[in-house]
Amino acid sequence: MILPPATLGMLGGGQLGRFFVSAAHEMGYKVWVLDPDPHSPAGLIADRHLVAAYDDYAALDTLGNGCAAVTTEFENVPADTLDYLAKFIPVHPAASAVAVCQNRIAEKSFLADNGLPHGPFAAIRSEDDVRNANAGLFPAVLKVARFGYDGKGQARVADRDEAVAAFQHFKGEPCVLEKMLTLDYEVSVVLARDEAGNVRCFPTGENRHRNGILDVTIAPAQASACLRDNAQEIAERIADKLGYVGTLGVEFFVCRGELFVNEMAPRPHNSGHHTIDACDVSQYEQQVRALCGLPLATPRQHSAAVMVNLLGELWYEDGKGHGAYREPDWSLLHAVPGLRLHLYGKHHARPGRKMGHFVVTGDDAAAVLEHALAARAAIGIRDA
Ligand code: ADP
Ligand code: MG
């Protein structure tokens, strides 16, 4: 076991890393963050911020020498970086697991090879692959295999010609072509798995997106207990097959009552933010526990919760990214009973950038949802 006051390393300095730093600090650890952005949210509160690229080997040596173990909050850390650090210190999750989650072709192939439910897709590496793709895939979504997030690097295509044009627009980058599914709704499971293979799931949450970006999470999901349990079982199988150690997020589509895995995130997940406010252990504390070899906690959600993301457009006068730049009126949110506001300390708000979120908790799930949606409207978030 790695015990306090040991120093832990974090690759990536975004909000997920920032919450990890807070959780680790609470538990008595120190944290060094590596992120090239001098203003990164996690770097700002870390004990040490190494402002360096993920493939800066001098910085990796410093991290490896100064830390007892390393984890990540960012799926695009190069697998070579994780492999390199693993020569010196424990690295969780392992490069092999992260590599599957950071490439949509590898991810979809992993699901197919392991008999896990997923939507119809084709791997696209050339225009010929688009021409030969099954006609039944259209209308479809073309997604770049690497570095897409929050709906970026995706194009909705009605037919084969549009798919060819989109593939050219993505400059021939490897892609997956996914059948456009008619979604009943979306759910996700956040879990933690330790080195001995013990798994602890948080209750399945329900996710609503706006412009391809997570907007609202309702936890637990309003779905049947059976569907929520099935999602947890599938997520657990994924973690086992990946030999995963750490906190993992698994996103699902629900179509005609059936679950399909959408994608995996080898890190805490945006839909698990509310675990800070509504559970007796957060997804970030579980990440610390898994990394340090502490026994995982068995999460208990003590309150119904709804999380609402606050995106950069809210900082502009018209709420859409135009007009004067100003701070939203936070007093409107603080007036709502049971609401907790979390802001990430990001330097500049851009439309679509995740700047913060709020969580409403309470005993009555219907009232919590109603209050959260009213607060969302009051702060100026309009439906797309
Ligand atoms: P990201 O990495 O940006 O989260 P996702 O693949 O999860 O990428 O896509 C973002 C959102 O777009 C999904 O949560 C879903 O709402 C919608 N979406 C993506 N793929 C499909 C699909 N094949 N069918 C229907 N909706 C989709
Ligand atoms: Mg997603």
Is residue 175 within 8 Å of 167, Cβ to Cβ? yes
β-pair partners for 263: 251
Q: Which residue bears the tokens 């330790």? A: 194
169 C-alpha to ligand 2 centroid (Å):
21
The predicted structure's pLDDT at residue 382: 85
Is residue 196 exposed (0-12), middle (13-18) or buried (19+ Cβ within 10 Å)? exposed
Compute the distance from residue 56 Cα to the ligand 2 centre, in Å: 29
Give pLDDT, residue 46. 98
> How far, in Å, is the centroid of ligand 1 from the Cα of 191?
21
Q: What is the pLDDT of residue 152?
A: 85
Ligand 1 binding pocket includes 251 (Cβ within 6 Å): yes
Adjacent-strand bridge partners of 206: 187, 218
The answer to whether residues 151 and 210 touch, using CB atoms and an 8 Å cutoff, is no
pLDDT at 383: 81
User: Considering only CA atoms, which residue is closest to atom 2 of ligand 1?
Assistant: 149
Contact 146, 103 (CB under 8 A): yes
For 206-230, how does the pLDDT look when each residue is reduced to its tens digit (9 = 90+)? 999 998 899 999 999 999 999 999 9
Q: What is the pLDDT of residue 244?
A: 98
Give residue-wise pLDDT tens across range 255-283. 999 999 999 999 999 999 999 999 999 99
Judged on CB neighbours under 10 Å (0-12, 13-18, 19+), 132 is: exposed
Q: Atom 13 in ligand 1: which residue has the minimum CA distance?
A: 212
List the residue whose alpha carbon is closest to atom 4 of ligand 1.
150
Q: Which two tokens stand for residue 143?
A: 């997604």
Probe target for ligand 1 pocket from 75, 103, 147, 253, with the most ligand atoms within 8 Å of CB: 253
Q: What local confidence, expressed as pLDDT, does residue 370 receive? A: 97
Smallest CA separation from ligand 1 atom 21, residue: 180
3-state secondary structure the chain: CCCCCCEEEEECCCHHHHHHHHHHHHCCCEEEEECCCCCCHHHHHCCEEECCCCCCHHHHHHHHHHCCEEEECCCCCCHHHHHHHHCCCCECCCHHHHHHHCCHHHHHHHHHHCCCCECCEEEECCHHHHHHCCHHHCCEEEEECCCCCCCCCEEEECCHHHHHHHHHHCCCCCEEEEECCCCCEEEEEEEEECCCCCEEECCCEEEEEECCEEEEEEECCCCCHHHHHHHHHHHHHHHHHHCCCEEEEEEEEEECCEEEEEEEECCCCHHHCCHHHHECCCHHHHHHHHHHCCCCCCCCECCEEEEEEEEHHHHECCCCCCCCECCCCCHHHHCCCCEEEEECCCCCCCCCCEEEEEEEEECCHHHHHHHHHHHHHHHCCCCC
Q: How far is the CA of 268 from the centre of ligand 2 (A)?
A: 13
178 lines ligand 1 (CB under 6 A): yes
Residue 251 C-alpha to ligand 2 middle, in angstroms? 6
Per run of 10 residues, the mean pLDDT along the chain (length 384 residues) is 98 98 98 98 98 98 98 93 97 97 97 98 97 97 91 93 97 97 98 98 97 96 98 98 98 98 98 98 98 98 98 94 96 96 96 97 98 97 81
User: Which of the ligands is closest to the CA of residue 118?
Assistant: 1
Q: Ligand 1 pocket, 188 CB below 6 A? A: no
Nearest ligand 1 atom, CA 140:
23
Q: What is the position in ligand 1's atom list of the atom closest to the CA of 179?
A: 23
CA of 183 to the centre of ligand 2 (A): 14
What is the tens place of the pLDDT at every residue in 330-384?
Answer: 999 999 999 999 999 998 999 999 999 999 999 999 999 999 999 999 999 988 6
